[in-house]
Amino acid sequence: MATVSTPASPKTALRMRSAGGMRMRRTVNDVITYILLVLGALLVLIPLLWMIATSLKTESELFLLPLRLFPEVPQWHNYIDVWRIQPFTQFFMNTIFITVLAMGGEILTCALVAYGFARFRFPGRDILFITMLGTMMLPGVVTLIPTFLIWRGFERIDTFTPLTVGALFAWGPAYIFLLRQFFLTIPREIEESATIDGANTLQTFFYVMLPLVKPALLTIAVLSFTGNWNNFQAPLIYINTPQKYPVILALYSFSESLSKEAPKWHYMMAMTVIMSLPIVALYFAAQRYFIEGLTVGAVKG
Amino acid sequence: MVDFYARTLIDYAVVALGMAVAMFIVFQVLVRLGMKREAATGYALILPWLLGFIVWTAYPILASLYYSFTNYNVFQPPKWVGLDNYVKWLTNDRSFWPSLRLTLLYGLISLPIGLALSLGVAMLLARNVRGVGVWRTLYYLPAIIPTVATILLWRWLLGSEGLVNQIMSPLYNLIGMDKPSWFVDERYALPGLIIMSLWGVFGANTVILLAGLKNIPTHLYEAVELDGGGAWAKFRHVTLPMISPTLFYTLVLGVIAAVKTFEPGIFIKLNSLTTGTFLQVLVYGNAFAGGNSRMGYASALGWIMLIIIMVLTLLVFRSSALWVYYEGERK
């Protein structure tokens, strides 16, 4: 199905001789389009439904045949049980602590750096900017071990420090790039009038420029929140004490304990739902910024 | 109980304050040295990134190159062993070649299929369907679910008694095939991993490609129509060339992401001797997991991955002249 149709402008419609046949073909194409879209949507939705349905089943219903999507009686208490098996309140506090600190540091420093690159001329600026973009290509695995050794040298293994403090060094070249693009669209006159009013660079930055790029800041906030919330490798390497686990490590340790004889998939799926829910909620609340963040840079180049 | 929060809060405050002071000092020193205020401000503002680049990127890269020529178990100082890690260890490590094969095949197969599917969905959505927003949200949903959750879900779906095998069992009977034990059987591990990766693939790529498709001016399609071209001609001569820069962007990011794949290899126990596992998992396993940490060998593996990514990216860039069309570029 590789058809692309465009809405016919009035001019083209007039030019078409067999308008009726054309309309017929359009309708057929539309029907096929919707059928394909629904099929695709089913492929997306069924696994998700299965995840939620499983989380509401009893253990004996897990492998019941014939297959039934929904359990006889939804076992809502699975969620309470899960909360009892592992101290999820603690895990959520840990996750939120890490995410908020990392996100805050990331946004503030990236905005400062982006402002520097966007508005001030200094020798070597373009080379530094290209170097920064180049680091986007770098696989983190090369820096992984020395970075670990640095934190080990500071005796910060098994603390939240390696997961958060690095953010103060303007993590995320993509965020800097996006913010710079936004700063570039703001007319210079605005800053000049702020300067005439007696504002210094920092005042101009915080009171004039930042409010103007609020959409970009929100975009980054959303992307950074999800990035830190879902980060798995760093906590896996740096955190050892179960009390300090973020939710994602709790999921990992539970999945490790899943036994072949009595696989508690209903609990596992309940935990996955718990882990995903905040992110899904955030997505629905901030969809606009999500989409914007994804497309900037890709399309406009 | 929460003194581990306090500890990090103190670290965080100290570094934040230190950064502010450093920015101020850089500005003052540069101005005293006779630099223009504008330039001095610029350097001060980019200082967080510049310091981060030196401390967290440049130094680690060089350090890991050095470690890759040493034998280093963290507890004793690194011992220089020359090319041993690249030659002796690599030939002795029986999980390296299967893992290299798995990582490359995973990328080479799932990437093009994923891009084609995303482009397909994006093209369907670009046809002015009703409720684009709702469809887009729907197709994006798997991409928001944390990767780890996706992997666990698919481990459950692709279990030997899982949903997929149950639904497909009539088909298996028809062609006289046993229920595959996905992930366990080496023949089905790679297909299982690819199926899993394809589920979430629509998300970001579809959104990006859809935006790219929407940027194509309609008069180009009208021109093809005037010349009597059909749907295929429109796709071949307008859509594909016009979308190629966006495809290129997603392809470059996809190559890097595929080689870096990590989570599936951790959450799904693959037999590293037969099936292989993801290279990144080998690095992690050698450096951090288990009793004996082989930081030197792990660093060498990391550098091999870096070289693979650079070669693949370079190939994509080189080939781009053949298939990527930039409007406004003179030939």
Go through B255-285 and write b for each residue having 16 or more CB atoms within 10 A of its CB, e for each that does not.
Answer: bbebbbbbbbbbbbebebeebbbbbbbbbbb
Q: Do A230 and B231 touch (CB under 8 A)?
A: no
Predicted confidence at residue B26, as pLDDT, reads 96
Residues of A in contact with B129 (CB under 8 A): 33-34, 37
What is the number of other CB atoms lying within 10 angstroms of the CB of residue A156?
18
The answer to whether the Cβ–Cβ distance between A3 and B51 falls below 8 Å is no
Beta carbons of A106 and A175 less than 8 angstroms apart:
yes
Which DSSP helix (H) or strand (E) runs through B80?
strand B79-80
In order along chain A (301 residues), what is the average pLDDT of each group of 10 residues? 46 52 78 90 90 87 74 85 88 95 96 95 94 85 92 93 94 89 88 87 91 88 90 93 92 81 83 91 83 61 38
Contact B147 A140 (CB under 8 A): no
Chain A residue nearest residue B154, CA to CA: A47
| Neighbouring-strand partners of residue B298 | none
Residue of A nearest to B234 (CA): A4
**Amino acid A167: pLDDT:** 94
Nearest to B123 by CA among A42, A10, A36, A296: A36
B11 inside 8 A of chain A by CB:
yes
Helix residue ranges per DSSP H, A56-187: 77-85, 88-119, 125-134, 141-153, 161-164, 173-184
CA distances to A20, B142, B168, B179, B199 from B174, rounded to whole Å, are 45, 31, 10, 12, 26
Q: Which amino acid is at B237?
A: H
Helix or strand or coil: residue B14?
Answer: helix
CA–CA gap between residue B50 and residue B19 (Å, rounded): 11
Torsion of CA A232, A238, A244, A250, to 10 degrees: 30
pLDDT of residue A48: 92
ipTM for the assembly: 0.88
State how far the Cα of B58 lies from the Cα of B190, in Å rounded to an integer.
35
Q: Most A CBs within 10 Å: which of B8, B165, B240, B327, as the mutation test of the A interface?
A: B8
Residue of B50, B44, B46 lying closest to B24 (CA atoms) = B44
Beta strand segments in A207-259, E:
none
**Residue in A47, A144, A201 closest to B157 by CB:** A47
Owner of token pair 């390497």: A237
What pLDDT is stored for residue B205 in this prediction? 82
Cα angle at B266 between B260 and B271, to 5 degrees?
100
A88: Cα within 13 Å, side-chain hemisphere? 17
Distance from CA of B39 to the nearest CA of A (A): 4
Cβ–Cβ below 8 Å for A101 and B12: yes
Res B94: pLDDT? 86
Question: For residue B57, which of B306, B308, B250, B311 has the smallest C-alpha distance?
Answer: B306
The parts of chain B modelled with pLDDT lower than 70 are: 1-2, 290-291, 327-331
> CB of A74 within 8 A of CB of A52?
no
Q: What is the C-alpha to C-alpha distance for residues A51 and B153, in angstroms, rounded to an integer?
A: 7
Give Cα A299 to chain centroid, integer Å: 19
Query: Distance between the two ends of chain A, CA-based, in angstroms?
Result: 29
> Rounded distance, CA A165 to CA A106, Å?
9
Task: Tally Cβ neighbours within 10 Å of residue B174.
Answer: 9
- Give the model's pLDDT for residue A163: 95
> How many angstroms separate the CA atoms of B273 and B276, rounded?
6
Hey, which residues does A16 pair with through a beta bridge? none
- A-B CB pairs within 8 A amount to 317
Q: Measured between alpha carbons, how far is A79 from A60 in angstroms, rounded to an integer?
A: 17
Look at residue B70 and give its three-state secondary structure: strand
Neighbours of B247 (CB within 10 A): 21
For the question of whether the overall pTM of this predicted structure is more than 0.90, the answer is no
Q: Specify whether the CB–CB gap between B260 and B306 falls below 8 A.
A: no
| Chain A interface disruption, residue of B74, B152, B179, most A CBs within 10 A | B152
Closest-CA residue to B211 (of A202, A290, A66, A282): A290
Q: List helix spans (H) across chain B.
A: 3-32, 37-52, 59-67, 84, 90-92, 96-125, 132-144, 147-157, 163-174, 186-199, 202-214, 218-226, 231-234, 240-259, 263-267, 279-287, 295-323
Exposure of B325 by Cβ count < 10 A (0-12 exposed, 13-18 middle, 19+ buried)? middle
Q: Which residues of A touch B51 (CB under 8 A)?
A: 169
- Rounded Cα distance between B45 and B199, Å, is 42
